Chain A
Amino acid sequence: SAVISQKPSRDICQRGTSLTIQCQVDSQVTMMFWYRQQPGQSLTLIATANQGSEATYESGFVIDKFPISRPNLTFSTLTVSNMSPEDSSIYLCSVEGRRGTSDNEQFFGPGTRLTVL
């Protein structure tokens, strides 16, 4: 299985500031996915990040609000910009199963719990 770490694990931020969340994977992966889980809700895909190209955003999410970097095959960052209380959520990084294995699972990081005051 893939081991995914995220930093920070949680944070409390002031309205109007920005937070960058880091995602590190223990193996090279093509795609990294960023999800948001608002309180009591399901996971919503924010964007898909491919190394060396701009991220692909889902409907309702824009690059200015959620800029993503993908500098190499094991690392990505998601920035939540100009935060408001509505951005309070858990943000999860996810990757596909290892190549050359029967892993059909999509693996998830432990999440970053963000509270915006």
Chain B
Amino acid sequence: AQKITQTQPGMFVQEKEAVTLDCTYDTSDPSYGLFWYKQPSSGEMIFLIYQGSYDQQNATEGRYSLNFQKARKSANLVISASQLGDSAMYFCAMREGRRRDDKIIFGKGTRLHILP
């Protein structure tokens, strides 16, 4: 079974609009971390944001915020005021366990296109 599910293969959004990228996860471990990465066409993996399972508040990093709904096992990424440079592939990922050297597994990704 899929541990990380991203149901939107592709999205088209007008520049300056807010974007929500969906991610649901499946784990029975009470300790886990959720990640979002951006991969532009250059191929590099750019870390965007992290949410720990015990974090009380939703994570925010500049224009990125993570809408963490633990009971629903949902960790959607919200990008405010989208820019043309936000066009890229976005991956949701999860690390099960407390250790930072535990492995991370990735969802299939969402390709985001920002329209001028």
Interface residues of A (CB under 8 A from B): 29-31, 33, 41-45, 48, 90, 92, 94, 96-97, 103-108, 110-111, 113
B47 within 8 Å of A (CB atoms): yes
A108–B52 CA distance with the chains assembled, in angstroms: 20
**Would you list which residues of chain B between 87 and 116 have a CB under 8 Å from chain A?**
91, 95, 100-101, 103-109
Q: What are 19 A-to-B residue pairs whose CB atoms are below 8 Å? A: A29-B101, A31-B101, A33-B104, A42-B91, A42-B106, A42-B107, A42-B108, A43-B45, A43-B91, A43-B106, A45-B103, A45-B105, A94-B104, A97-B100, A104-B35, A106-B35, A106-B95, A111-B43, A113-B43
Decide if B45 touches A108 in the complex (CB within 8 Å). yes
Chain A positions within 8 Å of B100 at CB level: 96-97, 103-104, 106
Closest to A41 in B: B108
CB distance from A75 to the nearest CB of B (A): 16
Decide if A104 touches B52 in the complex (CB within 8 Å). yes
Decide if A110 touches B44 in the complex (CB within 8 Å). yes
CB distance from A28 to the nearest CB of B (A): 12
Q: B103 touches which one: A33, A41, A42, A104 (CB < 8 A)?
A: A33
A48–B99 CA distance with the chains assembled, in angstroms: 14
Chain A positions within 8 Å of B33 at CB level: 104
B50 within 8 Å of A (CB atoms): yes
Task: Knowing A96-B101, A104-B33, A106-B95, say if A90 contacts B43 (CB, 8 Å).
Answer: yes
Chain B positions within 8 Å of A30 at CB level: 101
Decide if A105 touches B47 in the complex (CB within 8 Å). yes
Q: B45 touches which one: A45, A92, A97 (CB < 8 A)?
A: A92
Task: Knowing A33-B103, A45-B105, say if A104 contacts B45 (CB, 8 Å).
Answer: no
Closest to B47 in A: A105
CB distance from B41 to the nearest CB of A (A): 12
Chain A positions within 8 Å of B91 at CB level: 42-43
**Would you list which residues of chain B between 37 and 52 have a CB under 8 Å from chain A?**
43-45, 47, 50, 52
Chain A positions within 8 Å of B104 at CB level: 33, 45, 94, 106
